[in-house]
Amino acid sequence: MLAELRARARDALEPAHWDYFEGGAGDERTLRANEEAFARVRLVPRVLRATGPRDLRTTLLGTELRAPILVAPTAFHRLAHRDGELATAAGAAAAGAGYVVSMAATTPVEAIAAVAGPWWFQLYLQPDRDFTAALVRRVEAAGCRALVVSVDSPVFGRRERDHRNGFHDLPAGLCCENLRDAAGAVRDIAMDAGLGWAAIGWLRGITGLPIVLKGVLHPADAELAVEHGVSGLIVSNHGGRQLDGAVATADALPAVAKAVGGRLPVLVDGGVRRGADILAALALGADAVLVGRPVLWGLAAGGADGVRLVLDSLAEDLDRVLALAGVRTPAAVPPDLVVSP
């Protein structure tokens, strides 16, 4: 089903936009490694566990979800479909999934909030702290439930497909709508190689929202994140779009989860394409997963209905594989469900 939606998305999109959505950094080694790492996992199901109907409901940082599945923050949804982030938000809400709105959304958060279920907002902390603080105030006022700070982007990864295609700017009429300053002018997103842990402390001081760090791969950084008072972590390599050669997320997850030791929720993204991948992620120590490109395929192929189809089918697939593995709830997935290859 996902493969069919992917093919339809490819047909629907301009080639340069398809490449932007689909591509990764450098030789795309990490992009491929994410899916390969999940494909390598082998599961050891239990039998005769009398699980009955499964219960996929999951609560993360006070946000209640139908299943442990969220939409990963991805930029520029109006390039994929005319309804853009409004379609993503409506599709995610209909599927009971969480939605992490990208800072590079092409729709204002107030309009997204009007049709969304529970939503979080992804931030690149800007060197202009007053501008960042104003944006935090704006998303708080719009009803955001958590801030997801992307920490894997001190500079932009080298996306060779975009260089080849000359894709550097949004077409006329589209912009990052949440980057307007007080005068209404749209700013560019600045990646900030000067960012350190003090910036997280600064953010902690200006908001009461839970702060989730996205892009952690090393267990020592997971430990530091706990020490700096963050509320959650996302094990992510940005879908292979930043440091090419970075470890696959399914491979990084167990050590990060062990370092966190249950003190915070740990989420993972990158290469999640099947219910069995979600099951594996849970067994490897995740509390939930985020899904990036498949949601974009659904959006490009069918707007809100396409997004819903992707998320519903992942939740239904997870329900089936939980039953097949002899487990009733996501939280009950045991570590010994996976064996190392």
Ligand X SMILES: CCCCCCC(=O)C(=O)O
Ligand Y SMILES: Cc1cc2nc3c(=O)[nH]c(=O)nc-3n(C[C@H](O)[C@H](O)[C@H](O)COP(=O)(O)O)c2cc1C
Please give the positions annotated as active site.
238
Report if residue 272 touches ligand Y, rule: CB under 6 A: yes
Alpha helices by DSSP H, 23-128? 29-40, 77-80, 84-95, 109-115
What mask, x for binding ligand X by CB under 6 A, covers residues 96 to 125? --------x---------------------
89-99 burial: b if 16+ Cβ within 10 Å, else e: bbbbbbbbbbb
Q: Is-contact 259 223, C-beta < 8 A? A: yes
The token pair at 285 is 């120590």
- Interface map 180-199 toward ligand X (x if CB under 6 A): --------xx----------
Report the run of H or E that residue 311 belongs to, with start and end: helix 293-325
293 binds, among ligand Y, ligand X, none (CB under 5 to 8 A by kind): ligand Y
Q: Based on DSSP, count helices (H) and strands (E) in the chain, helices before strands.
A: 13, 12
311 binds, among ligand X, ligand Y, none (CB under 5 to 8 A by kind): none
Q: Which does 213 bind (CB under 5 to 8 A by kind): ligand Y, ligand X, none?
A: none
Question: What is the number of the residue whose Cβ is closest to ligand Y?
Answer: 292
Q: How many CA atoms lie within 13 A of 117 on its CB side?
A: 18
- Sign of the C-alpha dihedral, residues 198, 200, 203, 204? negative
List the one residue from 30, 58, 107, 236 that touches ligand Y (CB under 6 A).
236
Q: Does 75 bind ligand X (CB under 6 A)?
A: yes
Q: 18 touches which of ligand X, ligand Y, none (CB within 5 to 8 A by kind)?
A: none
| Contacts of ligand Y in 99-118 (CB under 6 A) | 102-104
- The whole-angstrom separation of Cα 202 and Cα 237 is 24
Report the C-alpha gap between 330 and 144 in whole angstroms. 25
Written as one string, the DSSP assignment of 206-267 is H--S-EEEEEE-SHHHHHHHHHTT-SEEEE--GGGTSSTTPPPHHHHHHHHHHHHTTSS-EE
189 contact, one of ligand Y, ligand X, none, CB 5-8 Å limit per kind? ligand X
Q: Report whether 117 contacts 99 (CB < 8 A).
A: yes
- From the list ligand Y, ligand X, none, partner contacted by residue 270 (C-beta under 5 to 8 A by kind): ligand Y
- Closest distance of CB 326 from ligand Y, Å: 27
* 212: nearest Cα among 191, 189, 235: 235
Give, as ranges, the residues between 53 and 72 that touch ligand Y (CB under 6 A). 72
Closer residue to ligand X in complex, CB, 157/298? 157
Q: Which of 159, 238, 274, 308 binds ligand Y (CB under 6 A)?
A: 238
Give the contact letters, 215-254, x = binds to ligand X (CB under 6 A), - = no. Answer: -----------------------x--x-------------
338 has which bridge partners?
43
Amino acid found at 210: P
Q: Which of 9, 30, 34, 157 binds ligand Y (CB under 6 A)?
A: 34
Residue from 2, 5, 21, 309 touching ligand Y (CB under 6 A): that is: 21
Q: Which residues contribute to the site for ligand Y (CB under 6 A)? A: 20-21, 34, 72-75, 102-104, 122, 150, 214, 236, 238-239, 241, 269-272, 291-293
* Sites of contact with ligand X (CB under 6 A): 75, 104, 188-189, 238, 241
